[in-house]
Structures are given as C-alpha cells and as structure tokens.
Chains A and B, each alone.
Chain A
Amino acid sequence: MSVFTAVGSVAAESCHLNGDNGCGFPAPSADIFFLEPYATLNIFGMDFTISKAVILVALVATVVIAFFMSAFRSPKLVPGKLQALGEMAYTFVRDQIAREVIGKDGDKFVPFLTSLFFFVWISNLMGVVPGAQFPIMSSLAFPVALTLIVYFTYMFLGFKHQGTKFITDAAFPPGVPKAMYVLLTPLELLQLFVTRPVTQSIRLFANMFAGHLLITTFTVGAWYLLSPSVIGILGSATSFGVTVVLTGFEMFIQGLQAFIFTLLAAVYIGGSIHGEH
C-alpha cells in the first residue's frame, strides 16, 4: 500500500475525494477566464490592465511576425525548409480561402486574410501551449476587436465597390416577390449590421471558452480524484486520459475555428466587392 501512502501524502494538502478536509469537487467556473492583472498602465488617461492575456497577445504578435519575416526574409526560387513552410502557410490561405471564396481578385486580400488566420490560430493555440495555457480568444474583447476590423473592412469595401447599392441590394434582394420585403428587409438589414459581426465574434469566443473550460474541468478532476484508493487512482488516471484526448481535440478545434473565422471574413469581403447575394 506504499503507492496509496505516497498518493495520500501528496493529496493531503488540497481538495481531494475522501480527503481529510472533506471538501467537495471544486468545479472550475467562468472565473478562470478573469485573469489577475499583473500591472496597470495609464496611457493618455486610460487604464490598461496588463494581464496574462495581454502578454500572450504580444507574444502571439511577435511569434507570427517573426515566423513570416524570417521565412520570407530573402526568398529563393528553390526554398529552404523555413521558407517552404511559410509558403505552405501563405499559399494555403491564398488557395483555400482567398481564391476559393473571393475568386481571382481575392489575391489582394491574401495578406490580410493570412495575418488574420495566423493571428487567430496562434492565439487559440496558446490554450494548449504549456506555460501559457490560456486561449486568448476566450476573452471576448479579442474576437470582438478582430471582428470589428473585419466588419469595417467589408463595409468600406462594399461602399467602395457598389456604392449605396451595397445596402439597397442587401435590404431588397433582387428576384424576390415584393410582398416578401416586409419580412425580408428587416432580417437582411439585421443580418448585415448586427448578426454577422455578433455571430462571427461569439462563435470564436464560445468555442475557445468552452474548450478551455472542458480541459480545465478534467484537469481539476484528475487532481481531485487522486486519493489513496483504487477508485481514486483509476478515476484520476481516467480523468487525466480524457484531458489528453480533449487537448488533442481542442487543437483541432483551434485550427478549425481560426479557419472558419478567416473564411467568414473572406465570404463577407467577397460579398462586398462582388455584390452577389
């Protein structure tokens, strides 16, 4: 029973199943997404809270910039390994998103879409990077910031390419019986101005939020179940195994959500410059 004694001595100090202090399962709540501020900077009369999320955002920006700048510093016709990797990333966004969704004139949005995709993806990836372990996009302000940039981009492009027809075509879709406008027009306008940006940001936020909460729950569960008994060790091991599996699944979701976010941005931009509805 030496294993149980060892586990018991480790487990004695905090909350555990059948622990001495007899506390229940400390289920993680939404509070894990409210980070301790490390410092507060006052710039132009405004308080900027420097938390883990802010530091991670700076890290992500640095990593993305450093990767692409070093990969494409002196590009060769026959690429090296780093350049080939960078090209793969770049042509992925170009071929799978920009050209696929927008078409031939999507090429000039490739830099924007590539920046967006990798910024979002690496931000999401911070949820599983050891030491960071906080998906930046689970803090709603960041998805909202990106969504607003996308929103203003396609609004601007819509007016630039179609003028007021951009709004009127959206409000009164051609080829629809006139009576239907009673129903359609408010919905279409709501969709253009509200639903699109709200869903785009919430989708990313909620996915990262839920994924992180799920992983935390099983991690905490593994720790909580760890107790000097067969049930305790089995339960703890199972919970840990689920954590590992969920982490793998979460990495897939992180990439997928970054892709969807960028794809939607491309769809909206394409709609703005082509005027299809």
Chain B
Amino acid sequence: MIHILASEAEQQNILRVPLDELIIGTIAFAIVFFMLAKFAFPAINKTLEERADAIEGGLKRAEDSQAEATALLDQYRAQLAEARTEAANIRAQAQAEKTAMIDAAKSEATAAAAAVTERAQAQMEAERAQALTSLRRDVSDLALTLAGKVVGETLSDDARARATVDRFITDLEAQAANK
C-alpha cells in the first residue's frame, strides 16, 4: 500500500536487472540444484530403478513359471502318448504271441495225430504180415500133415516138401493178386 501511494517516487525501469539480485538468484538456484542433484535425486533414481526391477523381475518370474509349467505339461503329454503306444505295442505283441501259440499247438496236435495214425497203421501192417506168415506156416504144416497122412510118411521136416508148399501158396497169392 505504501508503494501504491508513493507512486510519485522516482520513475524506475521495470526492465532493469540489478546485479545483486542476478547474483543472488543464480546462487539460490545453484544451491537448490547442487543439494537436490547430490542428496535427493540419486537416492530416488536408485529406488525407481529398483522398483522397476522388482516389477519386471516379478513378471519375469511369472513368465518363467509359466514356461516351466508348459514344458512340464508337454512332457506329461509326451509320456502319456508314449505309454499309450507302448500299451498298444504290448497288446499287439500279445495278440501275435497268442496266434503263434495257437498255430503251434494246432500243428503239434496235427503232427501227433499223424504220428498216432502212422504208428497204428504200421502196427496193423506188422500184425497183418505176422498173421499172414503164421497163417502160411499153419497152412503149410496142415497141408504137409495132410499129405503125409495121405502118403503115409512124415514130410514135416523135409525142407524140400515145405519149399514146394510155399511155392504153391506163393503162386496162389500171385494168382489172387493178378485177379
């Protein structure tokens, strides 16, 4: 108010730049800048960086866990698929083995049956041959005995007589075979 009333005081230039105010202003700002740049801002810069790191680190960790979980899932899936393939293989193998076993058993049984048949036939053949031989001897003996009785002498031990009977029988057989 005093200034307003004292407007008739000496006219001063508002654009004057007093050197003392200039120096004081410069020093005041220099002190502010020095104090803040030295004692205040480095600390907050560090904290801001740490915070950014903490946040980015958190994101990074989450990303890593995500990646790990995905990898684990893939691994499990692969294992599952592998297990399925293996089971299928085992099943197929078992199937094949079963078929093979059945085939083997079948062929074995067939072979065994064939063998039994063969043996039976061989035995029958042998028995027939034996019966034939025995019959032939009996017939020959019977014939000699009959002839001896007719002739009145024993021919049974005569080898020639037996050969004669045998030849006769063989001829009979040959005739029978030719018919």
A: residues with CB less than 8 A from B are: 26, 28-36, 46-49, 53-54, 57-58, 60-61, 64-65, 68-69, 71-77, 79, 83, 86-87, 90-91, 110-112, 114-116, 118-119, 139-142, 144-146, 148-149, 209, 216, 220
A229 to chain B: closest CB distance in Å? Answer: 23
Contact partners of A112 in chain B: CB under 8 A:
33, 37
In the bound complex, CA of A144 to CA of B41 (Å)? 26
Across the interface, do A149 and B41 meet the contact criterion of CB distance under 8 Å?
Answer: no
Contact partners of A32 in chain B: CB under 8 A:
3-4
Of B22, B40, B41, B44, the residue contacting A141 (CB under 8 A) is B22
Across the interface, do B41 and A142 meet the contact criterion of CB distance under 8 Å?
Answer: no
List of 9 A-B pairs having minimum Cβ-Cβ separation, nearest first: A145-B25, A141-B21, A75-B47, A68-B40, A111-B37, A142-B25, A115-B33, A72-B44, A145-B26
Inter-chain CB contacts under 8 Å: number: 138
Across the interface, do B44 and A61 meet the contact criterion of CB distance under 8 Å?
Answer: no
Of A26, A75, A142, the residue contacting B7 (CB under 8 A) is A26
A91-B48, A142-B21 as given contacts; A114 in contact with B31, CB under 8 Å: no
Across the interface, do A58 and B28 meet the contact criterion of CB distance under 8 Å?
Answer: yes
In the bound complex, CA of A87 to CA of B23 (Å)? 31
In the bound complex, CA of A274 to CA of B91 (Å)? 75
B38 to chain A: closest CB distance in Å? Answer: 9
Query: How many residues of chain B get a CB closer than 8 Å to chain A's CBs?
Result: 41
In this complex, the member of B4, B31, B40, B41 whose beta carbon has the largest number of chain A beta carbons within 10 angstroms is B40
The DSSP consensus for interface residues of chain B is: helix
A26-B7, A115-B37, A146-B29 as given contacts; A209 in contact with B46, CB under 8 Å: no
Contact partners of A61 in chain B: CB under 8 A:
28-29, 31-32
A31-B9, A49-B18, A61-B32 as given contacts; A69 in contact with B25, CB under 8 Å: no
What are 25 contact pairs spanning A and B, CB under 8 A? Answer: A26-B5, A28-B4, A30-B14, A31-B7, A32-B3, A34-B3, A35-B3, A46-B19, A46-B20, A57-B28, A61-B29, A64-B36, A65-B36, A65-B40, A68-B40, A68-B41, A69-B35, A69-B39, A72-B44, A75-B44, A77-B47, A79-B47, A83-B44, A112-B33, A141-B18
Contact partners of B15 in chain A: CB under 8 A:
140
Residues 26-68 of B, flagged 1 when their CB comes within 8 A of A and 0 if not, give: 1011111101110111011011101100100000000000000
In the bound complex, CA of A132 to CA of B21 (Å)? 18
In the bound complex, CA of A141 to CA of B27 (Å)? 12
A26-B5, A64-B36, A220-B4 as given contacts; A209 in contact with B24, CB under 8 Å: no
Known contacts A29-B4, A141-B19; 13 further A-B pairs (Cβ under 8 A): A26-B5, A31-B4, A31-B7, A33-B14, A34-B3, A36-B2, A47-B20, A64-B36, A69-B36, A71-B40, A115-B33, A115-B36, A142-B21
